Amino acid sequence: MDMAVDVSVIRQHLIDPEICIRCNTCEATCPVNAITHDDRNYVVRADVCNGCMACISPCPTGSIDNWRTMPMARAYSIEEQLTWDELPAELTPEQLEAEGVGAPQEALLQVPAAPPQPATAPGETAFNSAQYGATVPPWSAAHAYTNLHPPKNPTTATVVGNFNCTEAGYENQTHHIVLDFGAMPFPVLEGQSIGIIPPGTDANGKAHFARQYSIASPRNGERPGYNNISLTVKRVLEDHQGKPVRGVASNYVCDLKVGDKVQVIGPFGSSFLMPNHPKSHIVMICTGTGSAPMRAMTEWRRRLRKSGKFEGGKLMLFFGARTQQELPYFGPLQTLPKDFIDINFAFSRTQGQPKRYVQDLMRERAADLAELLKDGQTHFYVCGLKSMEEGVVLALRDVATEAGLDWDQVGMGLKREGRLHLETY
Ligand SMILES: Cc1cc2nc3c(=O)[nH]c(=O)nc-3n(C[C@H](O)[C@H](O)[C@H](O)COP(=O)(O)OP(=O)(O)OC[C@H]3O[C@@H](n4cnc5c(N)ncnc54)[C@H](O)[C@@H]3O)c2cc1C
Ligand code: SF4
Ligand code: SF4
């Protein structure tokens, strides 16, 4: 070991709070859990980040790619980073010298070694579903434009439609919103998302940050040939623990009227994209508003099928909600031909019925899923609440194992080939 290396200086990895859209991609990607967040900021632990760069390319905004030369002893703590509205400037050579570390040379800068992974109980293996999520798109995906309208320079869209797409009269409403961009370029693909900036300020007087919403319409528009997109937005009236709250952006969006103007950023996302080659299969597993990208992909395939020029593979959908009344698009889904899409519903709170989750349905359909897992043309998409992700990937693992497949090989193959996509929030 070269004892001359000055380990007291690091290139500290930081996230720019001004352009970060709080999409959680980096936190889900980081292999050593160096990234964390609160209600406002995403931050990096200086003593944990080992500079592996795994989080850099998946970040849709580039806000993750910020580095500052810092004396290790002065590294910004996560508590400090959580209060930031903007990144601090680089320390000047004079400031560094005043810290007693001298002007740093690039070659001497160190990042801390990764700490050991969290220990597991003897005989128990930790299951990290995120490690199987692809960060590359399928080989036949179309080119996705990203960040054309960045957080510092949003564009304006006009609301041209807004209706409740869950059963009327129930509290847990989800709205189908249509936004029109007029002559402003806003090219999108199924699986991408946009950010909406709610007007006004938060309790601390700071401008609200953008919330992300998946695009629910296909690439050629909610209405074919129009420069518009649709969203599927759940009105948040209670937090994840069931405590009453009034979600800022979701209520703003659900209350929008036709003709209202909205501040939009994006599009975002360059890997959760659908395959475009003939006979490619798509397995979609979602809960609640996680159905938005699935609606987009299904509708694009439906339009292609109608044109008669595209030979699609299988489409299989596993869709979960608390009740049928809360399931977005329940009615329209019923009208899709059975030879076009294989739909499986799971309801976890239907009175008098046992709780059923999407992973239960997947196990019931193990024989069909095993065939699809063996087929290199199959692409899996998982979207919805964070709490579903592990159970779904575990179900895939069990299906593979019971079919005599080596899950680690299959799972890593799916990741490498951009065939297993996880987007949970
Ligand atoms: C990649 C990505 C795609 C997304 N796509 C969609 C989408 O298509 N449709 C959609 O409706 N949402 C989607 N979301 C979630 C969305 O961005 C917002 O987080 C959500 O609308 C809540 O924002 P809010 O401003 O209303 O609530 P906030 O004011 O930010 O939060 C209020 C409270 O509610 C809790 N909370 C936040 N979200 C939820 C939730 N979904 N359910 C229950 N409690 C919650 C918060 O923890 C907080 O305590 C997506 C998020 C990501 C990261
Ligand atoms: S560079 Fe690597 S270790 Fe650091 S935050 Fe990104 S993914 Fe995690
Ligand atoms: S925008 Fe980039 S830095 Fe911000 S949460 Fe998403 S991936 Fe992380």
CATH number, domain containing residue 252 = 2.40.30.10
Report the nearest-CA residue for atom 48 of ligand 1. Answer: 239
Mean pLDDT of 411-422: 97
Number of separate domains in the chain: 3
Same domain membership, residue 411 and residue 286: yes
* Ligand showing the shortest atom-to-Cα distance for residue 146: 3
Among 239, 268, 297, identify where a domain stops: 268
Q: Quick one: residue 102, left, alpha or beta (phi over 0 = left, psi -120 to 50 = alpha)?
A: left
Q: Is the pLDDT of residue 115 over 60?
A: no
Q: How far is CA 204 from the centre of its chain?
A: 27
Q: Is the pLDDT of residue 172 over 90?
A: no
**Residues listed for the chain:** 425
Q: Which of 256, 263, 81, 108 is nearest to 184 (CA)?
A: 263
Give the pLDDT confidence of 315-363 residue by residue, as tens digits: 999 999 999 988 898 889 989 999 999 999 999 998 899 999 999 999 9
Classify residue 115: in a domain, yes or no. no
* Ligand showing the shortest atom-to-Cα distance for residue 30: 2
Show the beta-strand stretches assigned E in 269-325: 281-287, 315-321
Mean pLDDT of 13-20: 94
Report the nearest-CA residue for atom 1 of ligand 3. Answer: 20
Classify residue 348: in a domain, yes or no. yes
Distance between Cα 349 and ligand 3 center (Å): 34
Mutate to test the pocket of ligand 3, among 13, 19, 22, 386 (most ligand atoms within 8 A of CB): 22
188 lines ligand 2 (CB under 6 A): no
Same domain membership, residue 288 and residue 420: yes
Classify residue 2: in a domain, yes or no. no
Ligand 1 nearest atom to the CA of residue 243, by list position = 49
* Ligand showing the shortest atom-to-Cα distance for residue 246: 1
Q: Which of 173, 143, 11 is nearest to 76 (CA)?
A: 11
Ligand 2 nearest atom to the CA of residue 44, by list position = 5
Compute the distance between CA of residue 363 and CA of residue 314 in angstroms, rounded to an integer. Answer: 18
Q: What is the pLDDT of residue 2?
A: 44
Same domain membership, residue 306 and residue 253: no
63 class by beta-carbon count within 10 Å (0-12 exposed, 13-18 middle, 19+ buried): buried
Q: What is the pLDDT of residue 1?
A: 41
- Specify the DSSP class assigned to residue 72: G
In single-letter form, the type of residue at position 149 comes to H
Give the pLDDT confidence of 243-290 residue by residue, as tens digits: 999 999 999 999 999 999 999 999 999 999 999 999 999 999 999 999
Among 268, 292, 310, identify where a domain stops: 268
23 lines ligand 3 (CB under 6 A): yes
Give the pLDDT confidence of 155-171 residue by residue, as tens digits: 999 999 999 998 876 66
25 lines ligand 3 (CB under 6 A): yes
44 lines ligand 2 (CB under 6 A): yes
Same domain membership, residue 346 and residue 263: no
Structure tokens at 183: 């002559």
Question: Of the ranges 10-14, 72-76, 100-104, 214-218, which one carries the lowest mean pLDDT score?
Answer: 100-104
Confidence of residue 398 (pLDDT cuts 50, 70, 90): very high
Same domain membership, residue 420 and residue 293: yes
Structure tokens at 391: 């159970």
Q: Is the pLDDT of residue 424 over 60?
A: yes
Q: What is the pLDDT of residue 99?
A: 81
CATH number of the domain where residue 359 is located: 3.40.50.80
Classify residue 417: in a domain, yes or no. yes
Compute the distance between CA of residue 114 and CA of residue 256 in angstroms, rounded to an integer. Answer: 47
CATH number of the domain where residue 103 is located: 3.30.70.20
Same domain membership, residue 405 and residue 359: yes
Same domain membership, residue 343 and residue 285: yes
Distance between Cα 231 and ligand 2 center (Å): 31
Same domain membership, residue 349 and residue 215: no
Q: List for the chain the helix, strand, coil content (%; round to 5).
A: 25, 25, 55
Classify residue 118: in a domain, yes or no. no
Report the nearest-CA residue for atom 5 of ligand 3. Answer: 22
Domain that holds residue 227: 155-268
Residue 113 or residue 288, greater confidence: 288
Same domain membership, residue 306 and residue 245: no
Same domain membership, residue 359 and residue 346: yes
Same domain membership, residue 399 and residue 290: yes
Among 268, 293, 317, identify where a domain stops: 268
* Ligand showing the shortest atom-to-Cα distance for residue 58: 3
Classify residue 3: in a domain, yes or no. no
The radius of gyration computed from the CA coordinates of the chain, to the nearest angstrom, equals 23
The mean predicted confidence, pLDDT, of the chain is 90
Cβ(181)–Cβ(263) below 8 Å: no
Using a pLDDT cut of 90, give the percent of the chain over it: 72
Q: Is the pLDDT of residue 6 over 60?
A: no
In single-letter form, the type of residue at position 131 comes to Q
Classify residue 134: in a domain, yes or no. yes
Classify residue 124: in a domain, yes or no. no
Mutate to test the pocket of ligand 1, among 250, 272, 295, 385 (most ligand atoms within 8 A of CB): 250
Compute the distance between CA of residue 102 and CA of residue 8 in angstroms, rounded to an integer. Answer: 10
Same domain membership, residue 418 and residue 282: yes
181 class by beta-carbon count within 10 Å (0-12 exposed, 13-18 middle, 19+ buried): buried
Mean pLDDT of 380-395: 95
